[in-house]
Amino acid sequence: MEYTLFLDTNALLSLGENAFKEKFIIAQKTLEEIENIKVSNSKDGEVKYKARQISRLLDKHDGEYDVVLYSPKIKEIIDSYFLSETPDNIILASAYYYNSNVSEVLVCSDDLNCKFISRNIFGLPTKGVSDINLVKNLDEYLGYKELTLSDEEMSYFYCHTNENIYDCILNEYLIIKKSDGEVVDYRKWDGFEYKAVCEKTVRSTIFGDKIRPKDSYQACAIDSIFSNTMTAITGHAGSGKSLISLISMMSLIENGEYDRVIIMFNPNKAKGAADMGFYCGNATEKALQNSIGSMLTTKFGDRFAVEM
């Protein structure tokens, strides 16, 4: 059975831009709540930011969603179930009205009370944000896409590098493989074309060495560090995350691109880690006796180099 998603305020804020991947319905009360959140003194900055973003997206995608206007019929529904006229009840009564008079809906909310009332009082099919297919089908963003192309597909790609035929977002990388799994190229979508990524050799005087990427993932990581304001690198132990980051940062400092490195780390112990008690010294000395100090000492050679 086909349902149309009916999003409450909580779900709309959680989904953000992903909500607009298909048609959805909201209540007029949700628009009012979003406006109130934007100017509220009791809401934290993150929620207010989400509300501002949603307002812009609603304006951008005008006509791609339906709004159920508040009317005497909505109030009649609330009264018929002996409910008070709260924002949640108005939103759910709007969903009930749309479900009964227009087309069947699937209510989406992460609010426990809202889900309970939707299911057990209004009898509407209801799911949480993490349960709907819209969210399940979203690909996890990795910063790159891996493609295995046939000779014909590869030929077409290289003849149309100025077309975003693989729907990459800005600065997302493509790792291109042959049918046998061999990596033959890696490119980056810069908004105009799939630009070739060079295997940059990174040099650092402090490390007394130079480094070349060992594979396509390291090549993309190094290119991202040198060309983007912020890069997040993940990977298993020993994959070169810390070494690549530190050498790249020191190279940028030595070349005058930056004047310092600020390293942030979580001082809390990992679950199951042994605690040796209190550490002496100032904040820097304490940090160097922690896991971050061990990592930096290993990469730079000794503790004296780190403290400098």
Q: What is the pLDDT of residue 227?
A: 85
The one-digit pLDDT tens for each residue of the chain (308 residues) are: 568 899 999 999 998 888 898 889 999 999 999 999 998 888 888 889 899 999 999 999 999 999 999 999 999 999 999 999 999 999 999 999 999 999 999 999 999 999 999 999 999 999 888 777 654 444 567 888 998 988 888 999 999 999 988 888 888 999 999 888 889 999 999 888 999 987 778 877 776 667 788 888 888 988 888 888 888 888 887 788 888 888 888 888 888 888 877 777 766 666 655 555 566 666 666 666 666 666 666 656 555 445 54
Is-contact 173 187, C-beta < 8 A? Answer: yes
CA–CA dist 288, 308 (Å, integer): 12
The set of residues, in sequence order, having a beta carbon less than 8 Å from that of 298 and lying 6+ positions away, is none
| Residue spans of alpha helices (H) in 70-215 | 72-80, 87-101, 112-120, 133-136, 151-159
Supply the CATH classification number for the domain 4-135.
3.40.50.1010
3-state class (DSSP) for residue 143: coil
Please, which contacts does 286-295 make with residues 24 or more away whose CB atoms are closer than 8 Å? Answer: 290/265, 291/265, 292/263, 292/265, 295/242
Task: Extract the tokens encoding 263.
Answer: 């390293």
φ/ψ of 142, rounded to 5, equals: -110, -15
Q: Are 23 and 122 in contact (CB under 8 A)?
A: no
Sign of the C-alpha dihedral computed for residues 154, 155, 156 and 159 taken in this order: positive
| Three-class SS state of 118 | helix
Tokens at 58, concatenated = 């609603």
- Tell me how many degrees the CA angle 107-12-104 measures, rounded to the nearest 5: 25
Provide the terminal-to-terminal Cα distance of the chain, rounded to the nearest Å.
66
Domain locations in the chain? 4-135, 144-196, 263-307
- Cα(11)–Cα(260) distance, integer angstroms: 41
Q: What is the pLDDT of residue 90?
A: 96
CATH class (in words) of the domain with range 144-196: mainly beta
**Cα atoms in the 13 Å half-sphere on the side-chain side of 238:** 0
CA angle 45, 263, 171 (to 5 degrees): 70
- The predicted pLDDT at position 281 comes to 65
- Quote the CA–CA distance of 159 and 178 in Å, as a whole number: 17
Q: Which amino acid is at 124?
A: L
Q: How many CB atoms lie within 10 A of CB 120?
A: 10
Do 268 and 287 meet the contact criterion of CB atoms below 8 Å apart? no
User: What's the pLDDT at 250?
Assistant: 82
- Amino acid identity of 8? D
CB count in 10 Å sphere of residue 121? 15
